[in-house]
Chain A
Amino acid sequence: MPTPASPPMNYLEAFGDKAATISLLTWALLVLSIAVVAIIALLTAAGVVMRRTSLDAQATGREPIARRGGGLSWITVGVALSTLALFGAMAWNAYTMAAINRPPREAALTIEVTGHQWWWQFRYKSDDPSQIFDTANEAHIPTGAPVRLEVHTQDVIHSFWVPALGEKIDLIPNQTNVTWFEAQMAGVYRGQCAEYCGRQHAHMAIVVIAETPDAFAAWRAAQLRAAPKQQGDLAAGEAMFQARCGACHTVRGTLAGGKLGPDLTHVATRSGIASNTLQNTTATLTGWIADPQRIKPGNKMPTLELQASELTAIRRYVESLK
């Protein structure tokens, strides 16, 4: 078995039952396609080489018009064989569609996916309101169980796509699309917005981290915690954050409650920032807070013209949001 993320988005490799069913079909069609192209190319090339005559005969227009039989049997046989292959593929297709239409087992978890220009909001749903929380751009799921996805969008059309887990579904305004996926193996799976959604469509990547049910439960418990009350320097950073960033970002447990940008309560635990445009490191974080427009031109986070000291304080506070 290959390890996940080995080419991170290649979907000829599959890491879940659903993805495996699909990629088997895709492989079959690919092989069939290559065979068909090879046969046709060979027939054409062989015909050209074996039956050709010289250009001169042509130039005078005197070359008699040659006919070796009507040739209709070529069409009959060729089309019959093509149709046969096509109907075989169609049957396999129908079988695959039926197989992946519904999850095989009850879903372990429902994630509400909301698309924004240009980031992802993941809400972990629960019947118990106190168990609901938000995260952004990086989703965690337990292995070995179907996960139900309810997707919709705040603005334009996006498409949620995690190739190795076999799912792509459009996010359409005023509509909730429901689907599911599943990872058999723990690992990091990359995905990306697949439907053009404006200037930063290129920078709207997704990371799905599949982990054992235990690890997932631990992660979930950690996510549910609000940010702790900060002391000293960090408290000053927190205040600055609330003043400058709180209108757009939420940090649960503090006064920052903005809804325009991603929830940052546990942002320091994520591997990437700006919808996984950058690795989450001190340097990139500083650069991003200082001038997000340079990194992702046109994105909805303004350049705030922060003083160097403000920048450091805010960045240090953000890094404390574990």
Chain B
Amino acid sequence: MAVADYDRSLELEQSGAPARDRLTHIWEGEPGLKGWLSTVDHKEYGKRYIATAFLFLMLGGVEALVMRLQLAGPNKTLLTPEQYDQLFSMHGLTMIFLYAQPVLSGFSVYLFPLLLGARDMAFPRLNAFSYWIYLFSGLFIYAGFVIGYGPNDGWFNYVPYALTRYNPGPNMDFYAIGMILFGVSSTAGAANFVVTFLRARAPGMSINRVPILTWGTVTTSFGILFSVPAVSLAFFLLWTDRQFGTHFFDPSGQGQPLLWQHLFWIFAHPWVYVVVLPAMGIVSDALPIFCRRPLVGYTVVVLATVATMVMGFGVWLHHMFATGIPFLALSFFSAASFVITVPSAVGVFAWIATIWTGRPVLSTAFLFFAGFIVMFTIGGVSGVMTAAAPSDQQLTDTYFVVAHLHYVLIGINVLAVMGGLYVWFPKMTGRLLDERLGRWNFWTVFLGFNIAFLPMHWTGLAGMPRRIYTYPEGLGWTAVNVVTTIGAFILAAGVLLLLVNVLVSRRHGAPAGPNPWGGPTLEWATPSPPPPYNFAVIPAVASRHPLWERDLRESGEHSSIQRGMALDEGKEMLSTSALDAEPELIQKMPEDTLAPLLTALAATALGAAALVHAWIAAAILALLLLAAVLAWLWPRREMGQISERRHA
């Protein structure tokens, strides 16, 4: 970058309102519906991701409650077997794919540019596209469910039960095509996170100064880029097996049912980390705010995050310990599954150390994070029990595993997300969530969750298999199931309390101000909610905690948040180098457009046409898809990097 460019920097105090007005004018979207559909502002999509994921969480929750009613006693007939099968499949895939990952994407999409001191994601249009196609993939699968063709083979969808011979309806096709669309969404999102992380950090924010949440997300994104192709391929092959009689998985023609399991778990085991690592990042970043001190062991926590993801690719076989794999492979994967818990221990002790060496303030958010630590541990140790191959041959496919996976998913994901909401809701809306309601929210969620799922370990140890729609009397399972069902309803009430809190506080909450918690990172330097351009001047960062520099005695350098480059000659953002965040070039940012929405619509419609074998319509839609992409990518003068003007 030419030295002259630095002269475009600006002292905010002196420049005052005119500069801000100009920036607002440049960055603001159109009002009204069109503006709503065509905006590419990351903050908008962050909130939409979170809201949409939350809706899916509630749908999945209702499905779970209905299942719990059916299981509250032996031989109940509330549901037919087919209804139960669709419910547990929809519940599983909704929670894993439509809630757990997207909600974290929501936090990351909202926070990434703010945490990094940037004005938007590296590819704002791609960002919008990821959201729309996520939404449509979810609606697509739910459309099947609503007309009675919900997937009914569980979220891991084992063949040959998923093949037409055993599953003739279109149920599995909805799932297969929906998952391919969903894969497009997560791949696009992941690529965007990686590039944003590498190239859009504020000057001076070298790679060892970025918040842990961004590490979690970026690590996860690499995981997605490596694992999603496996599952997209698997679902595509499944679809051709079903539609065109190929034999990739069909055992009647030399197909390999186990191939499905390998492809699926090579994707889905890393996916477990996709839905927890960013959540752990939320805690690693937010818990220290409430402990009034920096996180203990930043570097080891980052290394542990990366190590977990890498090792996550080496343990997929532990979902298959009962498939009759050879002894040597069994020993290897069993050992690897033990070792992968070591990095998790790093996280746990880092959080505890932060509490012990800090001065925690027991706000609602903090309660969620403290509860999280214990739930994380329970999910971790039950994971170790299933890592032991001989024990797992007993535990797998029982309620013990159902308990384990809910401790992982609710304990790590949901608790962190709820805590995170208490922390960043004021940033998003300008208003605080109510603390008193918050206490109630926390305690009902925490107690309800443990009442529901702690006894479930026992149900599993007492031999109750998972995915059964009913069970006989006299096996010692009834009482525990009653308790579990009661707990599930308490938990659901807790989730409703959060909803109430959000709805009420959005309008009537106490005004938050820019930094209600005294947080150390850049997002707290912006007003709440942040203006469309995020930062009036591009901040320069000299430490991990720019806003705490005055209080942390050891930090000698000083970040500059009030003075920096204004970049106000059109929609502009600064690109910096990957490791040291040296300014490299001024990137022109795209204007609002309907292209991402139309592209996502065309892609989804193409999927629907393939589903019903409307090949002519499919061909037309493919052309429309192409047209939408062309409109998206059409060269535009304002995106050119050549400037006529010189900065003397």
Contact = CB atoms under 8 A, between A and B. Distances in A.
Interface in A87-111: 87, 89-90, 93-94, 96-97, 100-101
Interface stretch (A73-81, A123-131, A222-230, A309-317): A73-81
Given A69-B357, A90-B335, A170-B322, A97 B296 contact: no
Nearest to A156: B161
Contacts of B461: 10-12
Given A36-B381, A41-B374, A67 B297 contact: no
A307 interface: no
Contacts, number: 293
Interface string A32-71: 1100110011011101100111110111011111111111
A101 B327 contact: yes
Contacts of B396: 168, 194
B292 interface: yes
Contact of A26 (B251, B290, B394, B516): B394
B330 A157 contact: no
B467 interface: yes
Contacts of A23: 394
Nearest to A27: B391
Nearest to B295: A71
Of the listed residues A94, A96, A167, A194, the one surrounded by the most CB atoms of chain B closer than 10 A to its CB is: A194
Contacts of A159: 322, 397
A200 B467 CA distance: 10
A85 to B, nearest CB: 9
Contact of A172 (B166, B257, B551): B257
A96 B392 CA distance: 12
Contacts of B476: 7-8, 10
A43 B357 CA distance: 12
A44 B373 contact: yes
B322 A168 contact: yes
Interface stretch (B152-160, B205-213, B620-628): B152-160
Nearest to A76: B349
Interface residues of B, number: 95
A93 B321 CA distance: 14
Interface stretch (B80-88, B111-119, B565-573): B80-88
A187 to B, nearest CB: 15
A44 B398 contact: no
Nearest to A73: B353
Contact of B330 (A30, A48, A70, A97): A97
B352 A40 contact: yes
Contacts of B363: 55, 58
B432 to A, nearest CB: 10
Contacts of B349: 74-75, 77-79
A52 B373 CA distance: 17
B161 A173 contact: no
A175 to B, nearest CB: 7
A82 B552 CA distance: 32
A53 B393 CA distance: 47
B337 to A, nearest CB: 10
A298 B323 CA distance: 26
Contacts of A86: 338-339, 341-342, 384
A295 to B, nearest CB: 11
Contacts of A90: 335, 338-339
Interface in A184-198: 190, 192-198
Interface in A132-187: 155-157, 159, 161, 163, 166-170, 172-175, 177-179
Contacts of B338: 86-87, 89-90, 93
Contacts of A54: 361
Interface in B323-364: 323-324, 327, 330-331, 334-335, 338-339, 341-342, 345-346, 348-350, 352-363
Contacts of B359: 51-53, 63, 66
B346 to A, nearest CB: 6
Interface in B350-389: 350, 352-363, 370, 373-374, 377-378, 381-382, 384-385, 387-389
B463 interface: yes
B72 to A, nearest CB: 15
Nearest to A62: B518
Contacts of B471: 202
A201 interface: yes
Of the listed residues A65, A90, A173, the one surrounded by the most CB atoms of chain B closer than 10 A to its CB is: A65
Of the listed residues B370, B463, B467, the one surrounded by the most CB atoms of chain A closer than 10 A to its CB is: B463
A93 B318 CA distance: 14
A57 B296 CA distance: 22
Contacts of A22: 390-391, 393-394
A174 B290 contact: no
Nearest to A175: B324
A42 to B, nearest CB: 10
Contact of A71 (B82, B296, B323, B374): B296
B551 to A, nearest CB: 4
A236 interface: no
A267 to B, nearest CB: 20
B276 to A, nearest CB: 17
B469 interface: yes
A290 B517 CA distance: 70
Contact of A44 (B355, B387, B475): B355
Contacts of A44: 352, 355, 370, 373-374
Interface in B463-500: 463-472, 474-476
A7 B462 contact: yes
A57 to B, nearest CB: 7
Nearest to B389: A97
A37 B225 CA distance: 34
Of the listed residues A66, A89, A196, the one surrounded by the most CB atoms of chain B closer than 10 A to its CB is: A196
Interface in A291-322: 297-298
Given A74-B357, A89-B388, 8 more contacts: A26-B390, A26-B394, A64-B292, A71-B297, A75-B349, A90-B338, A156-B161, A192-B465
20 contacts: A47-B356, A48-B362, A58-B290, A58-B517, A64-B292, A65-B292, A67-B357, A67-B358, A68-B358, A70-B357, A71-B296, A74-B356, A93-B387, A157-B160, A173-B257, A175-B258, A193-B465, A196-B158, A196-B161, A201-B465
Interface of B: 80-82, 85, 153-154, 158, 160-161, 166, 251, 254, 256-258, 290-294, 296-297, 300, 322-324, 327, 330-331, 334-335, 338-339, 341-342, 345-346, 348-350, 352-363, 370, 373-374, 377-378, 381-382, 384-385, 387-391, 393-398, 435, 461-472, 474-476, 515-518, 548, 551-552
